[in-house]
Amino acid sequence: MKVVILTGNDVNKFAAALAKRLSKLNVELFVVVCVDYRSLLKGLMSKIKDRKLVSYIRNDISESLSGLSRKLKFTVLRSRDVNSKRTEAILKDIHPDVAIQAGVGIIRKRILCIPTFGIINAHMALLPKYRGMNVLEWSLLCKDPVGVTAHLIDEGIDTGDILLEEKIILDKGDTIDALRAKAERLSVELLAESVCKIKDGSIKRIKQIEGQGEQYFVMHPRLKDLVEYKLNMKVEYTEFSLPYIVYAINEAVLGRATLGYLKKLKIIEKYPAQELKQFQFEGLKRLLLHAYGCVDYYRDVFGKAGFDPEKMASFEDFNKVPFLTKEDIRSNQKGFISKDKKRKLTRYATSGSTGHPLKFYLSNERIASNKAAYLMLYAWWGLKIGDREVVLWSSSRDLMAYNFIKKIRDRLLNTRLFSAFQMSEDTMYKYAKLLQSYRPKDIFGYAHSIYILARLAKNRNLRLNDLGLKVVFTTAELLHDYQRKVIEEVFGCPVCNCYGGRESGLVAFECPKGNMHLNPLIYAEFINNDIIITDLYSYGMPFIRYKTGDQGILSDKKECPCGISFPIVEKIMGRDTDYVVGPKGEFIHPLALEYIFRESEDVDYFRIVQKKEDELVIDLLVTSKFDKRLEQAIRDKIDLAMGGPVKTGFKYIKEDEIPQHDKYKFVISEVVNKYI
């Protein structure tokens, strides 16, 4: 059997690899070098530009086809152009059974018909879908399988009969260059196998249907960069859809490396337990060194405790650092802020679960790492950026900042925001009908708000279990077993409960196997059931050994069926408070009232007790700067939050009058149980 390799250059690594492989078969091999001097010069200039000429001379030229022919005993012939009369004469003289295209460009019909079987080619994509140029990159960009097709060449562009094809498995760390190298090796094997099957008559030709597939052209370099980035990310939702691009641009504009942290998390989630501990120890030490060098409070505290972060050799050494309380932060807020002026800080406030407002700052690292943890969690539940989501939320900070631009952003991200401030039956019915029409992939929101919505749907026989929901995320409040049961029944999907807060971040979350895992970007300690956290990326205002005020129990389980080695939490306690009932019988989220006091610098503590639907008593611990003339303005805000006028009384208390046994309730309703 006579086989011809058509190549455009005597120095062609692919043609050389193919010649080596074919020389092992029982065939008579010829190589026709059709020198295209213009392309050859262009290639040399490209290598000079990319500073690869020395490597080309050392490695590529050292194994020319001419030199190889003497070792492997095959014939090399030369011509000026693949479609020239000389090439035609050479082929007619050889009269090959089959020829193989190995870098000669478009071949005319009069050349194609000379070999008995025809001329075959290896195409770096799966036909018929991807034809033309840069098809490997286009396949990756469109999230389709990558592979190689051996096919017969006809007069069209990659439209000839398919002979063989095989997919390429993507490995961790693959780049475009690495995949091209894989594709070249596979091309050699498929062409050799095709030759064998042509020889023994077992080759099967599959005709491509006219109009099937699309022709692709040279990919723009920036799109190639996106493909390369996608390969590096190695997560299923980097598909470069419009929502993904919108999200990436939004984070970049805000100076947050969220997707970079996500990439890191996708690596961390594969760590075994010991490697995870080492990662956390190294991250903890970096934070402590930063705090000692840039934060006045910690320099002083570390010195008094006899703690040198440079000498910390184990987690046991970390026990020397005293706990951080909310009162520590309130009494010396400026002393906690890093002197590193490069870090952008954003001001936040929270009451926690105690009624004591806390003001603090978060750096972009802290915000981005927290958002990345949520993205990782979403991926665990089969969600990606751009999947339809409904958020049931009532943060006044978020709602007040919800301007036109953010509305457009959320529309592009397929996110819809429902306010949980006032949830009358009419409002909840409207939400349920919107869910039926919008059909989101997930719902995210306050545990009790989602429960109230689910209960209304159940009572009104509204069908919400066929929406196609993958998961309902609950957060910010205790999720009781009876609430979980109703939510899962009504929405027809599992619940993923999350634990965290504005100051502590996303601390723990449930996996699809039902276990609650700790966030690896936060070092959590459970001491006498108190939850103590250190956020490894809280560089702007470090939270080191921060007492959250909540309690929990760490599980003794060492492994989870999900395969993730993040530590498992058995139970979270705390974060429970009552909903308020408005004058019209609607449920009011307690945060709607809390935010009235949260931002005030002169309110140190508050507790709201609802006596009747239209009557509230508010305990206040205030500073000497508090102006009691503001009471009417507060009453107006409360009436607005309650959806109608209510009788509001104020009781000014002293520090020693703060209840010691209501640690986890800053809102108490004496009427809500009548409605639940």
Q: For domain 358-573, which CATH number applies: 3.40.50.720, 3.40.50.12780, 3.10.580.10, 3.30.420.10? A: 3.40.50.12780
pLDDT digits (tens, 9 = 90+) for 557-610: 889 999 999 999 999 876 566 788 888 888 887 878 877 886 677 887 788 999
Please give the pLDDT value at position 234.
47
Q: What is the rounded average pLDDT for all residues in the chain?
A: 87
Span 403-420, mean pLDDT? 84
End-to-end CA separation in angstroms for the chain: 86
Report residue 530 as tokens.
């108190």
Say if CB 462 and CB 494 are below 8 A apart.
no
Domain boundaries along the sequence of the chain: 1-116, 125-234, 358-573, 600-674
pLDDT digits (tens, 9 = 90+) for 502-534: 888 999 999 999 999 999 999 999 998 899 999
Please give the pLDDT value at position 397.
47
Say if CB 82 and CB 115 are below 8 A apart.
no
pLDDT digits (tens, 9 = 90+) for 101-116: 998 989 999 999 999 9
Report residue 416 as tokens.
């819809």
Span 450-468, mean pLDDT? 92
Q: Would the pLDDT of 480 be above 80?
A: yes
659 band by pLDDT with thresholds 50, 70 and 90? low
Span 158-183, mean pLDDT? 91
Q: Would the pLDDT of 351 be above 80?
A: no
Residue 146 gets the label, from left (phi > 0), alpha (psi -120 to 50) or beta, of beta
Give the CATH class of 1-116.
alpha beta
Top-confidence residue, 676 or 400:
676
Percent with pLDDT over 70 in the chain: 89
pLDDT digits (tens, 9 = 90+) for 545-563: 999 888 899 999 889 999 9
78 band by pLDDT with thresholds 50, 70 and 90? very high
Span 318-337, mean pLDDT? 91
Q: Which of 73-82, 406-415, 513-522 has the lowest mean pLDDT?
A: 406-415
CA 554 to CA 545: how far, in whole Å? 17
Please give the pLDDT value at position 327.
86
pLDDT digits (tens, 9 = 90+) for 304-325: 999 999 999 999 999 999 999 9
Span 72-78, mean pLDDT? 94
CA 384 to CA 398: how far, in whole Å? 22
Say if CB 374 and CB 232 are below 8 A apart.
no
For the structural domain made of 600-674, what CATH number should be given? 3.30.300.30
Q: Would the pLDDT of 54 be above 70?
A: no
Query: What is the total residue count of the chain?
Result: 676
Domains 125-234 and 600-674 share a fold: no
Q: Which of 140-149, 241-250, 431-440 has the lowest mean pLDDT?
A: 241-250
CA 676 to CA 672: how far, in whole Å? 7
The structure tokens 């807060």 sit at 501
Q: Would the pLDDT of 209 be above 70?
A: yes
Please give the pLDDT value at position 574.
62
pLDDT digits (tens, 9 = 90+) for 235-255: 444 455 788 888 988 898 888
Q: Would the pLDDT of 74 be above 60?
A: yes
Q: b/e for 558-567, b at 16 or more Cβ within 10 A?
A: eebebebbbb
Please give the pLDDT value at position 482.
86
Say if CB 54 and CB 61 are below 8 A apart.
no
**Topology of the domain covering 125-234:** Rossmann fold (3.40.50)
Radius of gyration over every alpha carbon of the chain, rounded to an integer in angstroms: 34
